[in-house]
A and B are shown apart, each in its own frame.
Chain A
Amino acid sequence: MTKRMNGAEALVKSLEAEDVEVIFGYPGGVALPIFDALYDSKQIRTILPRHEQGAVHMADGYARATGKAGVALVTSGPGATNTVTGIATAWMDSIPIVVMTAQVATSVIGTDAFQESDITGITLPVTKHNFLVKDARDLPEVVKEAFYIATTGRPGPVLIDIPVDVSKGELDFAYPETVSLPGYKPTFKGHAKQIKQAASMISKARKPLLYVGGGVIASGAEREIKDLAELMQIPVTTTMMGKGGFPEDHHLWIGMPGMHGAKYTNYTITETDLLIGVGVRFDDRVTGKLSSFANKAKIIHIDVDPAEIGKNKLVDVPIVGDAKQVIAALVAELRKSGAEPKTEPWMRAIDDWRTNFPLHYQHREDALMPQYVVQRINELTKDRDTVIATEVGQNQMWACQFYTIRRARSWVSSGGLGTMGYGFPAAIGAKVGRPDSLVIDIAGDGSFQMNPQELATAVVNDIPVKVVILNNGFLGMVRQWQELFYGKRYSASVLAQDCPDFVKLAEAYGALGLRATTPAELDDVLTKAFDHPGVAVVDCRVVGEECVFPMVAPGGSIDEMLGGIPGCPVSEMLDDELLEEVWE
């Protein structure tokens, strides 16, 4: 059955057919036909952000927290260009979002018409695919393909550019049942022979290590990873993108690897004899100097994207396939062969490192330590279904180190692009998708100032997220690098702890604003914020010049870490030799 309608109506019908329940949309001239059609949708809620960047981060946060594709809609020209940072953020982290941009009429494309921008050209390197629709009759098929491409294989952002005459053009609407994409066939099942070989290596390994990344979250393979780890008693390290892929309160979880990973985690990587990478990309923030990363190990690499395998590090057993299916097959193979764990001595060694080189900071009673704030958030929320979003910088690293993520899709943080200003709008998107969860953005004062306008979105639409600002008065991570590597010359990294007054800012938007300056008052303030039915912002005035430790110097080997040694001042850790290496 087909029905006559215009392009905009067909677009909305198509989105409804894709089960879209919310669109983060910001209108403008050539987008109006689409917004007009949305006005009639009973299924789709339209949320107006206060900036298009916010719209895309919201769609992204929604996707990370729910596993469904997030959707944003903006106008042409500046509306479209404002989405680029959001799209690039989703691209780097393989997050399924569909961004629709309105475009000037096909008759004037290429003439520098008012609010024209070549958004398919601009986003070519940061989308999995993009479409410029030239004919209203193509819209249903394009939407179907866009969602299919965004959510299958290695997920990613897809952009649809829709000229205004296409929105107004007429068509007979019928939503296609299948897609026809001859050049797109993601591999799901791993190669059986390869899986057998991996199983045999795992059954023999004495010092194996599972290195788990965002691919595990994307594929929903956390159950399978747990099965494998427990069956063979293999310790698990989860990257920042993989947080939640394995419960962090499990005794086999051994922390996050890399630049700000714990010493015991990085030592484990250095000593392992079999590294099993699942949905990871051997990113430089994880590996440090590549040549010394896991260089005693044979490597098994499981990923749905063949281009990731062997990209940075040569591997012994490559397995292209969906993590969930491949790990399930591996577990079945190991069970069938009656393999037994041999890792008891290995786990004992790791536990020793864990005891001797724990994550560490110097607590103070007279002042608020940022790590302590995160620890208290962790303690106060551990019995609640909580989603943690973060901004970028020290706040993000302390959240990684001191918050215990127990479930998949409860961690929302910009990894690959490291986008300041991401966390707050992403938290709003997460809360929209998971209204029953407590959603907290752990923020820096710098990052929060990149998208604070979304307070209006949260308050007006009653999306009660919580923001806890670790307000150190600095662009903290930049300041840290300047302290360590630039002789404390704080060039352009000094903010002002009391400007803006975040409590008043929150109040100006009609949110609850609270402040904590000492450990003694912290629990009360946090509890008040978390129990408040509406949006709350907590300004935590933390110690200004604290560093995230341990730290692998940029380009250094991950087993050579700065800091994290109780009682050792930073100046003594930084010898000339190390500084020379940094500059190499």
Chain B
Amino acid sequence: MQHTLSVLVENKAGVLTRVTSLFARRGFNIDSLAVGVTEDPTLSRITLVVNAADTPLEQITKQLHKLINVIKIQDLNPADSVERELVMFKINAAPEKRHEIIEIANVFRAKIIDVGRNSLTIEATGSADKIDAMEDLFRAYGIKELVRTGKIALARGSRES
């Protein structure tokens, strides 16, 4: 099962390695990872997506808690949280195809952020599903390059403690 873990850590050198190597040591693959500083500059938030059954995940969460620099861990329930990813596509776009591609981008409220002679670069944010759907449509034109940030997520306001 897919789990989204939101891990609040001290913003110090090497902390990300401590967190990720714990997953590696126990044979878990991290599907996506995003990290950045929080409203408090001494803290960072790591958002991890992992595929794991509940029991091994519980063990790894407990092990994560033991890391001295880890402050809080939430296993975010998709129903109670908001999730976003940022993606950039560089798409083959001969002049006669540009219009079509821009139409599609508009449907997804994506932005054109760079125009080349034969390519368009498009930025979009959204849930993983939305991004997957866009990718499907753009594939027909040929995706030259694609980069995704990895999921970031927050518990919904009603769940604040």
Contacts and interface: CB of A to CB of B under 8 A. Distances in A.
Contacts of A306: 62, 65
Interface in B73-100: none
Interface in A217-264: none
A305 B59 CA distance: 12
B14 A132 contact: yes
Contacts of A120: 14
A307 B69 CA distance: 17
Interface in B49-70: 58-59, 62-63, 65-70
A540 B26 CA distance: 44
Name which of B13, B66, B67 has the most chain A CB atoms within 10 A of its CB: B66
A128 to B, nearest CB: 8
Given A306-B62, A311-B59, A182 B71 contact: yes
Contact of A183 (B13, B58, B70): B70
Interface residues of A, number: 18
Interface in A114-152: 120-121, 124-125, 128-129, 132, 134, 149
Interface string A184-211: 1000000000000000000000000000
Interface in B19-70: 21, 25, 58-59, 62-63, 65-70
B25 A125 contact: yes
A14 to B, nearest CB: 18
A307 B67 CA distance: 12
Contacts of A307: 59, 62-63, 65-66
B63 to A, nearest CB: 5
B68 A181 contact: yes
Contacts of B69: 183
A23 to B, nearest CB: 24
Contacts of A129: 67-68
A311 B18 CA distance: 21
B2 interface: no
Interface string B1-21: 000000001100110011001
Contacts of A149: 68
B43 to A, nearest CB: 9
A315 B9 CA distance: 30
Nearest to A305: B66
Contacts of B62: 306-307
Nearest to B15: A183
Contacts of B70: 183
Contacts of A182: 10, 71
Contact of B68 (A125, A132, A184): A184
B145 to A, nearest CB: 30
A131 to B, nearest CB: 9
Given A124-B21, A125-B21, A183 B59 contact: no
Contacts of B68: 128-129, 149, 181, 183-184
Nearest to A121: B17
A91 B52 CA distance: 27
Nearest to A186: B66
Nearest to B17: A124
Interface centre among B9, B13, B14 (most CB of A within 10 A): B14
A149 B59 CA distance: 21
A124 B63 CA distance: 13
B53 to A, nearest CB: 14
A182 B65 CA distance: 12
Contacts of B59: 307, 311
Nearest to A156: B66
A157 to B, nearest CB: 13
B72 to A, nearest CB: 8
B62 to A, nearest CB: 4
Contacts of A184: 68
Contacts of B14: 120, 132
A527 to B, nearest CB: 48
Most B-side CB within 10 Å, residue of A128, A149, A183, A184: A183
A132 B9 CA distance: 18
Nearest to A311: B59
Nearest to B60: A307
Nearest to B61: A307
Contacts of A305: 66
A410 to B, nearest CB: 30
A310 B14 CA distance: 30
Given A183-B10, A307-B59, A311-B59, A124 B18 contact: yes
A183 B58 CA distance: 18
B96 to A, nearest CB: 51
Interface string B96-129: 0000000000000000000000000000000000
Contacts of A183: 9-10, 67-71
A561 to B, nearest CB: 30
A394 to B, nearest CB: 32
A181 B69 CA distance: 8
Contacts of A181: 68
A149 B66 CA distance: 11
Interface in A292-315: 305-307, 310-311
Contacts of B21: 124-125
Interface string B144-159: 0000000000000000
Contacts of B71: 182-183
A289 B65 CA distance: 29
Contacts of B63: 307
A125 B71 CA distance: 19
B149 to A, nearest CB: 25
A120 B69 CA distance: 15
Contacts of B13: 132, 134
A125 B25 CA distance: 8
B54 to A, nearest CB: 12
B143 to A, nearest CB: 36
Nearest to A184: B68
B74 to A, nearest CB: 14
Interface in A87-132: 120-121, 124-125, 128-129, 132
Given A125-B21, A306-B62, A307-B65, 9 more contacts: A124-B18, A132-B13, A134-B13, A183-B9, A183-B68, A183-B71, A307-B59, A307-B63, A310-B58
14 contacts: A120-B14, A125-B25, A132-B13, A132-B14, A182-B10, A183-B9, A183-B68, A183-B69, A184-B68, A307-B63, A307-B65, A307-B66, A310-B58, A311-B59
Interface of B: 9-10, 13-14, 17-18, 21, 25, 58-59, 62-63, 65-71
The 6 closest A-B pairs by CB, nearest first: A307-B62, A183-B71, A129-B68, A184-B68, A183-B70, A182-B71
